[in-house]
Structure 1
Amino acid sequence: MIWDVIVLGFYFLFVFYFGFRFAKNTEKEEDFYLAKKEIHWVFLMISLVATETSSLTFLSIPSLSYKGDFRFLEIAIGYIIGRTIVALYLLPSYFSGNTISVYEYVGNRFGKTPQKTLSFVFTISRLLGDGIRLYVSSLPIAFLLERMGFPISAEILGMLALLILSVVTIIYSVFGGFRAIVFTDVLQWIIYLLGGIFALVLIQINLGGFAITNQIQHLETLGKWKVFIFDYNLTGDNSYFILFAILGGAFISVGSHGTDLMLVQRVIATKNLLSGQKILIGSGIVVFFQFLLFLCIGSLLYLFYEGKMVPAEKVFSHFIINEVPSPMLGILVAAILASAMSTLSSTINSLSLTWARDWEMDKWFSPRTLSLFFGVLLFFASLIPYFLVETWEKGILEMGLTIFSYTLGPSIAVFFLAKGRKDLPISGSIFSLFFLLSIFITIFVGIGFKLSFTLLIPIGFGSLFGLVTLTGMIKKN
């Protein structure tokens, strides 16, 4: 156990080194938030993948194939389609001006009120969604502390793990800025990927004499290799019906990589449009194979625990804590930390950016002060799942996706309207009200009709588009 702690200690030292290595010359906004657009597109692509690849991917994706099959790859296919749409349609507009925040583009088209409204919704959804991600990443650390014999409850251990994660991430995010975050993301992605590959090999070894050919045949007999779902269920959940899954994945990707400041920030931080397009489309392909890796882990875990009562949502955490020997346990926990900290640091930086530029807080506060504030706020947001997860019916991954799905549809509509229309038939204030109303419509329809998260984004998109179009038709008449 002591070797696991030493491994984690070395990991934190590496993170601190990168944070302080790039801490110089980050006082100006252009450097603190975009690193003067000097970073090569390959590093930005890896940073983008690391940012969106949170601890939810590491710990929760295996649970999907453990309790089901490979149908989540349908959504990954939609991700690639969605990123291609953003790269070819929306991205050229972002490179046409000299904006740092993507919401400034909306502000230039429709006024300050819609710009601030988008920023506010982004802030709330990021705090809630990434709070869940941070919470999930704390679970194996809490298990590790529990195994070390700390005489306190699991809840307190979890909160202590969250505090450790938050403090370390806040320090290098505040001092190093965007440049440090990107290169730390690259380091963390490598650790994370090697951790996943190691876990896959270790499970295979622990299966003993169960040959790979026999494993494949057994999983095929159980229907575990199914990817495409063609059967529409008239009464049940159709989240992974092939049309809904691919369409939902495409909408999610258009919303996240076309309108979410945290992810778009990595794309517009490159030097030109072509590099930005490479980042977007390349990241979609990398993410697809990441999902494939962790779905394979889940299917092998099903064979390893077959016949045993292990909760699907905690199966990978359970395996890591109980089956991985020291000091490799420390390496895998470091991989979980890497996936969490890359997302957390990016969220801190992007929240600081949007309030500096979209709310003009840079008149009163420095980028580092704003980053410190939002780092602390994210820590408190990560405590919320302690009160929700016990009563949430769906898995924690779907929970995180659902939170963003309520807001992404209307957000996509805003950017498509900004791209496609010269003017609006309504004022910026009314447009902002329509935007918020479409979010409430999405929440009401989604909860009322118990719709899958893959359908929420098209509903939100259509509701805002419909409200604006209908208002325009009424005005003409």
Structure 2
Amino acid sequence: MDKLDVAIFIAYLLGIVVFGSSFYRKNKSAEAFTLGNQRIPTWVISLSIFATFVSSISYLALPGQAYLTNWNAFAFSLSIPFASYMAVRFFVPLYRSVNSPSAYTYLENRFGPWAKIYVSVMYLLTQLMRAGTILFLLALLMNTLLDWDIATIIIITGFSVMLYSLLGGIQAVVWTDAIQAIILIVGALLCMGTIVFKMPEGVGQIFDIAAASHKFSLGSFSTELTSSTFWVVLIYGIFINLQNYGIDQNYIQRYMTSESEKEAKKSAWVGGLLYVPVSAVFLFIGTALFAFYKANAGLLPEGTQADKVFPWFIAHQLPVGFTGFLIASVFAAGMSTISTSINSSATVILTDFFKISAENPESGKKSMRILYTASFLFSAFSIGVAIAMINVQSALDAWWKLASIFSGGMLGLFLLGYLSRKINSSAAIIGVVAGVLVIGWMSLSPIWFPQWGLEAYASPFHSYLSIVFGTVAIFIVGFLLGHLLHRTFGRKQAE
């Protein structure tokens, strides 16, 4: 990278930290830290929801997947309008009526404290590993481009995000999210335009080469459940996005920061739907890169992995200045996700694990101390997770399998409580246990069972379907058991 590119990247990093930290003056209470006093503009919240969708993983992974295969991943994007509708129709009114900064207060009201604690802990574990993974990937990118020390990059990036998230609270998070969303969109469009401009025979050549290799295909429309067909990815997208919109603190907290239910609904619509065309841009970049390196043989080292093609293009084909801006846009995607995790996790810790009386004159100061401490500790642990991944990279895939077990029960429990009022706590617990066992079998049996000589008992289904089958198992077991218990005990009470 040229010195100008490095200077642009460093200026971006410093600018975001200074801008986010400037909200400290408006961040003197727990309500301001967690909800921004519900005075944040709708367009800012919309861009923040969008930025939460886009992480540095998707910024690099979507072009890599389109380069390697096709547009099968776009089926995931097509599920978002349905999830957005469900959010506007059901989720936003529900959480606005509960009127709590935590998404999991509803589950406590429905099933008791165990439900809130279970889901909160699973959420915190998932967010901790997500933030650590993104920190590691950002550092790996900069190590590849500049040969900087990975651990040093992780520490600097992690504490930079922690600083403005801790000082500025949710206002710093959503405002920096909005800026970062604009940067990443502009960066993606600039990169797409550069590829088109550099094609020897113009944009038509991209479509000719890509079409000849079926690069615009959405995947097989077969009904089989063992591979990532269009239908498997679409169904997976519906369930994972229902989980995002319906039970994920990152999203629910943004519903609560809006000044009214009407504005919250508008943010949910715009923030979700914006991801659809932007994801198409990312996928087109991957397809265009395939055509570009086909038309310019020799520019890409032989054997380059698909997920490294886009970083290679950024480092070697963009004009001076553009490279620094594109690296900043990749960091923008990652930093917005990490800052969201920090603030939302601190909010969950305060709301779900501490009971602070509002009548106590010291309650405000105590709440802020908890939020600051939780933000710092979450950031420190996520940095530790990222550093641990340097030497244990093979554990990354296995962790995401475990993460699906942790988070997979959340949506099923929520739907069980929301859709049936006759389900009691005992039935819900048994349903969650059944669902987590199903998810664990689907996620881990293909890895572990062959080592034990039990290949015949391993899950034949695609791993994307683990959350689908797990959620359905929780709902069916809990629903049937709940109605059976209700009928049995209800009859005895009547007698």
Q: State yes or no: 1:182 paired with 2:171.
A: no
Alignment counterpart, residue 333 of structure 1, candidates 301, 324, 327: 327
**Distance in 2 (alpha carbons) for counterparts of 1:188 and 1:18:** 12
Considering only aligned residues, what root-mean-square deviation do their CA atoms show, in Å?
2.3
Shift of 1:82: 1.8
**Distance in 1 (alpha carbons) for counterparts of 2:281 and 2:443:** 31
Shift of 1:326: 3.0
Larger radius of gyration: 2
Q: State yes or no: 1:440 paired with 2:437.
A: yes
**Distance in 2 (alpha carbons) for counterparts of 1:267 and 1:473:** 33
Give 3-state SS (helix, strand or coil) of 1:23's partner: helix
Q: Where does residue 154 of structure 1 map in the other structure?
A: none
| Greater displacement, 20-29 / 258-267 | 20-29
Structure 2 contact 404–443 (Cα < 8 Å) conserved: no
| Greater displacement, 241-250 / 369-378 | 241-250
Structure 2 contact 342–375 (Cα < 8 Å) conserved: yes
Structure 1 residues 261, 231: CA separation in 2 closer, same or farther (over 3 Å shift)?
same
**Distance in 2 (alpha carbons) for counterparts of 1:124 and 1:254:** 20
Write out aligned runs for 1:192-271 (5 A). Answer: 192-207=184-199, 209-227=200-218, 229-233=220-224, 237-239=226-228, 241-271=229-259
Structure 2 contact 415–475 (Cα < 8 Å) conserved: no
Shift of 1:392: 6.7
**Distance in 1 (alpha carbons) for counterparts of 2:385 and 2:422:** 38
| Greater displacement, 342-351 / 74-83 | 74-83
Q: State yes or no: 1:461 paired with 2:471.
A: yes
CA deviation string 1:49-98 (max 9, x = no partner): 11221101211110111001111111111122122123212221111122
Shift of 1:356: 0.5
Alignment counterpart, residue 345 of structure 2, candidates 326, 351, 360: 351
**Distance in 1 (alpha carbons) for counterparts of 2:88 and 2:463:** 24
Q: Where does residue 161 of structure 1 map in the other structure?
A: 153
Structure 1 residues 409, 369: CA separation in 2 closer, same or farther (over 3 Å shift)?
closer
Q: Where does residue 132 of structure 2 map in the other structure?
A: 131
Give 3-state SS (helix, strand or coil) of 2:273's partner: helix
Q: State yes or no: 1:63 paired with 2:60.
A: no
Give 3-state SS (helix, strand or coil) of 1:71's partner: coil
**Distance in 1 (alpha carbons) for counterparts of 2:392 and 2:236:** 25
Give 3-state SS (helix, strand or coil) of 1:326's partner: coil
Structure 1 residues 233, 106: CA separation in 2 closer, same or farther (over 3 Å shift)?
closer
**Distance in 2 (alpha carbons) for counterparts of 1:218 and 1:145:** 33
Shift of 1:387: 4.7
**Distance in 2 (alpha carbons) for counterparts of 1:432 and 1:326:** 58
**Distance in 1 (alpha carbons) for counterparts of 2:141 and 2:424:** 52
CA deviation string 1:368-405 (max 9, x = no partner): 121111111111222354355447779xxxx86x6654
Give the TM-score normalised by structure 1. 0.89
Structure 1 residues 439, 323: CA separation in 2 closer, same or farther (over 3 Å shift)?
same
Structure 2 contact 111–425 (Cα < 8 Å) conserved: no
Q: Where does residue 411 of structure 1 map in the other structure?
A: 410
Shift of 1:15: 0.8
**Distance in 2 (alpha carbons) for counterparts of 1:382 and 1:392:** 10
Structure 1 contact 83–250 (Cα < 8 Å) conserved: no
**Distance in 2 (alpha carbons) for counterparts of 1:105 and 1:274:** 21
**Distance in 2 (alpha carbons) for counterparts of 1:321 and 1:403:** 34
**Distance in 2 (alpha carbons) for counterparts of 1:392 and 1:169:** 23
* Count, aligned residues: 457
Give the TM-score normalised by structure 2. 0.86
Q: Which runs of 5+ in 2 are unaligned?
A: 357-365, 446-458, 489-495
Q: Where does residue 47 of structure 1 map in the other structure?
A: 48
Structure 1 residues 122, 189: CA separation in 2 closer, same or farther (over 3 Å shift)?
same
Indicate the structure whose relative CO is greater, using CA pairs within 8 Å and at least 6 residues apart: 1
Alignment counterpart, residue 303 of structure 1, candidates 269, 274, 291: 291
Shift of 1:463: 1.7
**Distance in 2 (alpha carbons) for counterparts of 1:143 and 1:389:** 16
CA deviation string 1:29-60 (max 9, x = no partner): 11101101111221101011112211012111
Shift of 1:416: 1.8
Write out aligned runs for 1:89-100 (5 A). Answer: 89-100=90-101
Structure 1 residues 405, 374: CA separation in 2 closer, same or farther (over 3 Å shift)?
same
Structure 1 residues 257, 202: CA separation in 2 closer, same or farther (over 3 Å shift)?
same
**Distance in 1 (alpha carbons) for counterparts of 2:89 and 2:223:** 32
Shift of 1:121: 0.5
CA deviation string 1:165-224 (max 9, x = no partner): 1011011011111001111111111111111111112222333x2321122122111101
Give 3-state SS (helix, strand or coil) of 2:387's partner: coil
| Greater displacement, 169-178 / 374-383 | 374-383
